[in-house]
Amino acid sequence: MPTASLSDAAQPSARITVIGAGVIGLSTAHELASAGHQVTVIHDQDPLETVSAVAAAIWFPYHSENSQAADLLLRRSLARFEQLAENPETGVDLRYGPNLEGSADEDRSWAQIVTNATEAPSADLPQIAAAGMYATVPVITMSTYLSWLHAQVQAQGVQFIKRNLQSLNDLEGEADLVVLATGLRGAELTGDDQSVYPIRGQVIRLANSPGLANWLCYDEHPHGVSYIIPRRTDIIVGGTDVANDYNLEVDAQTAEDMLSRATGLVPQLAGCEVLEHKVGLRPARETIRLERIDGHAMPVIAAYGHGGAGVTLSWGTAQHVVELLQS
């Protein structure tokens, strides 16, 4: 059987397999199906079992590539999330809050993408922060959003198959094109990438009994990363950013320290009921791998290595996959 080419895969109704059912995989499946292709998602974890479900999730380029190419993904994703926020069923809301900074020279390129970002008055800053920026950005309740997106993709006729692939060669003859939206497993399945590593993230989910609406992030908190993200019925408190740590077990001392930092920034959190502890491994890479890959039995497009910004970059990534297919 002749090997399928990328030009074959670009034809309408091509058979395209997306590997991975996290936020990148679901968004990519959605865009490919919208472009008229026959899409199958192969996954070994259901959407609510993926690291995407652990995300806070706020639109912000956390631990991801800083480049013009990444900025385009950010802009496109922001525009889509702002559109989705008009539909309450999506779980996407636009919320206001400050991103605190430990020094006056921190990277603010993200603020140029958000139309309403403004300097935080010094009177609003805690003593341990040097500066900050206020902005209104999307905050996504992931349990609602992933379930909604999964249903949208199914309604497009996308098929879901639970299967643990050991090699891309397992799909030979089954697909005209494969998209790798596999997070940490991307390097394993391509066999040519040694640059992917985990950044361990631990979070606490609190009941939003104070009725908080505004978020707060302080990555450079002197005692560790700190963020407070109110969602519809809960508050996500984080966090950690430990590179090359594969531990998925909750650490009690870490949780105590996170809550102490968060309460110091937002005293209203004191006494909130702890609903859940979660740990996820962010798939990090110096640069996002979003490109065609040669040397396999079928054309392959990689879409992984988003660090802590998988949700933030998801729609832009999905749109670029379609462009790679059509170019």
> Tell me: the pLDDT tens digits for 37-73?
999 999 999 999 999 999 999 999 876 677 888 899 9
Q: Determine how β-strand 159-162 pairs with β-strand 177-180.
A: unpaired
Q: How far is CA 96 from the centre of its chain?
A: 20
Give the tokens for residue 193: 């990438």
Q: Which of the four pLDDT bands, split at 50, 70 and 90, describes residue 2?
A: very low
* Residues 244-284: tens digit of each pLDDT: 999 999 999 999 999 999 999 999 999 999 999 999 999 99
Stretch 195-210: mean pLDDT: 95
Stretch 4-27: mean pLDDT: 82
**pLDDT at 124 (0 to 100):** 94
Give the tokens for residue 2: 């002749």
Is the confidence at residue 101, as pLDDT, over 50? yes
Exposed, middle or buried: residue 268 (CB in 10 Å: 0-12, 13-18, 19+)? middle
Sequence-ordered strand ranges (E) for the chain = 15-19, 38-43, 92-101, 118-119, 131-140, 159-162, 177-180, 197-207, 216-218, 226-230, 234-238, 242-243, 274-284, 289-293, 300-304
Give the tokens for residue 94: 């636009």
CA distance linking residue 220 with residue 107, whole number of Å: 12
**pLDDT at 1 (0 to 100):** 33
Q: How far is CA 151 from the centre of its chain?
A: 19
Distances 234 to 100, 215, 218, 269, 275 between C-alpha atoms, Å: 22, 12, 19, 11, 8
**pLDDT at 5 (0 to 100):** 58
Is the confidence at residue 82, as pLDDT, over 70? yes
Identify the residue with better confidence: 237 or 194: 237
Give, as one character, the DSSP assignment of residue 288.
-
**pLDDT at 215 (0 to 100):** 98
Give the residues across from 140 on adjacent strands: 92
Q: Note whether 75 and 316 are within 8 A (CB).
A: yes
Give, as one character, the DSSP assignment of residue 88.
G
Q: Determine how β-strand 197-207 pairs with β-strand 216-218.
A: unpaired
Q: Which of the four pLDDT bands, split at 50, 70 and 90, describes residue 198?
A: very high
Q: How far is CA 238 from the centre of its chain?
A: 15
Give the residues across from 229 on adjacent strands: 236
Percent of the chain at pLDDT above 70? 96
Give the residues across from 228 on adjacent strands: 216, 237
**pLDDT at 63 (0 to 100):** 66
**pLDDT at 59 (0 to 100):** 96
Is the confidence at residue 237, as pLDDT, over 50? yes
Q: Note whether 193 and 21 are within 8 A (CB).
A: no
Q: Note whether 240 and 223 are within 8 A (CB).
A: no
Stretch 78-84: mean pLDDT: 98
Domains with residue ranges and CATH for the chain: 6-326 (3.30.9.10)
Stretch 308-319: mean pLDDT: 96
CA distance linking residue 163 with residue 168, whole number of Å: 12
Q: Which of the four pLDDT bands, split at 50, 70 and 90, describes residue 186?
A: confident
Stretch 91-103: mean pLDDT: 96
**pLDDT at 190 (0 to 100):** 87
**Dihedral angle sign, alpha carbons of residues 133, 136, 140, 145:** negative
**pLDDT at 67 (0 to 100):** 81
